[in-house]
Chains A and B, each alone.
Chain A
Amino acid sequence: MKASIGWTAPPDLVLVRSLATLCRGAVTPVEGETKSLTSISGPIEVRPNLEQPSHATLDVHIRPLASISGTDSKALAATLKALLTPSLLLSHHPRTLVQIVGQALCGSNSGSGMGSAGKGWNTTLIASLVNATTAALLNTAAVPMRGVVCAVSVGRLRSQSASPTLILDPSESELPYLSGSGCFAFLFSSVVTALPDSEASSDVPPCSLLWTNYSANTSFTESELVDARKLAERGAVEVWKALKESLGSMGKSAVTLVGWKRDKNTTVKEVAEEPSESASESEVDDEKMEI
């Protein structure tokens, strides 16, 4: 009995181009109620003790909404550094510094602490932080990239039946109903080899999984992890397309706010015996507002 997958609407992705002149490239994606802000400076001058002779040094700082950055923020910073290093061509700028500062703009009220380390960094917030960093890197265009990193979060609903239901991008209010969750980060590039069971698309480059922290408070099988990965991949493709579209509409004239407002379809279909995936399609409303 395969796990059934219900697909809530992919995240609302609103990319706001902010024009801070001090930090080059700062973007806030708004995923439902989850917000984070990332600023990138680089390649800039580096202190001699951090300097590397053949690569740019990547310096990542993560700040939570309240209080100073503790162990979980430092762990997340190390994860983000490991995520970005394969996607950036750091050898093109030796002896320089690329400094990334990520800031959460919303806290975790539920404090469920599922999957990710501790209160304050739920999986959707981690996904929005990774996407904000990617968007800021695209905006700054000064650090050469090998590919684009997109992240989505997957949650697993608490249920009595043996086949758990997986949902994409659980919101803050859905967190208490989850018995497991995780964030999946994918690298989209034409030089990666995708897994054989990925759905190929002609306009989207192949993707490979870079990192996940999927965990649950009951045991789960490998096939559930595979299903979660496949669901996350479909969500990540949508994030990639949203990034490309907002990039295309940016540029010539005034600051453009591109929002993908999808009807959040919260009903999840649970199909018990059939080994089929049920995906609930939702309407796409493309709104572009010029400020």
Chain B
Amino acid sequence: MSTILPGEAVPAQHVNLKLGPGLLQLSSADGKSSIISTRAGELNHSANRSRWWIESNARRYVPASQESVIGVVIARSGENWRVDIGAAHMATLDGLAFEGATKRNRPNLKVGSLLYARVSLAHKDMEPELECFDAQTRKAEGFGELKGGFVVHCSLKMCRHLLDPKHFLLPMLGAQFPLETATGLNGRVWINAKEAKTIIAVSRCIEAVDSDGGGMDEASAKHFLGTLDI
């Protein structure tokens, strides 16, 4: 758990070594290979030192396979939908990639609809592709169109925190009022509640706890929530 800059050598050695995000293995001309970090952040490794990775905060999403993202439909191209997931390229969503969809029974999406989808294909040379069902069960499992609500933008590390069941924020908010959220790993969080002021309060809390907006801890967040008029 130490701060590391890009280009620094990482002393990762194991029989079954797995390199996570931010690490790269380079081989030099004389056949020796070295592992260097490719981004700035905290170097972490698993307990048995077989898995190494770098924890960093970014704001720009780079698609990776099997990640859940929130997308906005921007265009229709034939039977497919073009979806903006905040990456460098637009993603493609097949019109039939929903639970129980057939040629006669398709979901009725419009340009501007919000979707909670899973990235099924992400490769640096190809456009990412999305699916709106779980990979194993082929059922919706929460994926699909999101109706109503409001989308908040936050940093990628904040999204990872929100998806962590041990993080304090969502249980703290859920204890105050009924709430529906969907967190995408692309820096977007969808919030739905009965009243507009609740949605606004939740979005302000998320922005306050985000390290970009100040990085509040639990006690200050609780105090902050108390000052909002809900």
Contact of B38 among A96, A145, A187, A254 (CB under 8 A): A145
Residue A65 at the B interface, CB < 8 A?
no
- Rounded to whole angstroms, the CA-CA distance of A89 and B37 in the bound complex is 12
- Chain B residue nearest to A43 (CB atoms) is B88
- Rounded to whole angstroms, the CA-CA distance of A207 and B40 in the bound complex is 17
Contacts of A25 in B (CB 8 A): 59
- Rounded to whole angstroms, the CA-CA distance of A187 and B77 in the bound complex is 46
Best-buried of B88, B90, B153 by chain A (most CB within 10 Å): B88
Residue B62 at the A interface, CB < 8 A?
yes
Contacts of A140 in B (CB 8 A): 58-60
Interface size in chain B (residues, C-beta < 8 A)? 34
Residue A7 at the B interface, CB < 8 A?
no
Contact of B215 among A45, A147, A247, A253 (CB under 8 A): A253
Given contacts A46-B88, A94-B124, A252-B215, contact A190 B36 (CB under 8 A): yes
Contacts of A225 in B (CB 8 A): none
Residues A254 and B214 in contact, CB atoms below 8 Å apart: yes
Residues B124 and A93 in contact, CB atoms below 8 Å apart: yes
Residue B218 at the A interface, CB < 8 A?
no
The A244-291 residues at the B interface (CB cut-off 8 A) are 244, 247-248, 251-255
Interface size in chain A (residues, C-beta < 8 A)? 44
Distance between A188 CB and nearest chain B CB, rounded to angstroms: 6
- Rounded to whole angstroms, the CA-CA distance of A190 and B34 in the bound complex is 9
Interface string of B24-46 (1 = CB under 8 A from A): 10101000001010111100000
- Rounded to whole angstroms, the CA-CA distance of A46 and B90 in the bound complex is 12
Among B5-13, B96-104, B112-120, B177-185, the one that faces the other chain is B5-13
Given contacts A190-B7, A248-B3, contact A255 B153 (CB under 8 A): no
- Rounded to whole angstroms, the CA-CA distance of A24 and B58 in the bound complex is 8
- Rounded to whole angstroms, the CA-CA distance of A228 and B9 in the bound complex is 28
Given contacts A140-B60, A146-B38, contact A205 B7 (CB under 8 A): yes
Residue A144 at the B interface, CB < 8 A?
yes
Residues A145 and B62 in contact, CB atoms below 8 Å apart: no
Distance between A126 CB and nearest chain B CB, rounded to angstroms: 22
Best-buried of B7, B24, B56, B88 by chain A (most CB within 10 Å): B7
Residues B5 and A138 in contact, CB atoms below 8 Å apart: yes
Contact of B36 among A138, A191, A253 (CB under 8 A): A191
A sample of 13 inter-chain contacts (CB < 8 A) reads: A42-B88, A43-B88, A89-B24, A96-B88, A96-B89, A138-B5, A138-B39, A141-B56, A146-B38, A188-B5, A191-B28, A243-B5, A248-B3
Residues of A within 8 A of B (CB): 19, 21, 24-25, 41-46, 87, 89, 92-97, 138-142, 144-148, 187-191, 205, 240, 243-244, 247-248, 251-255
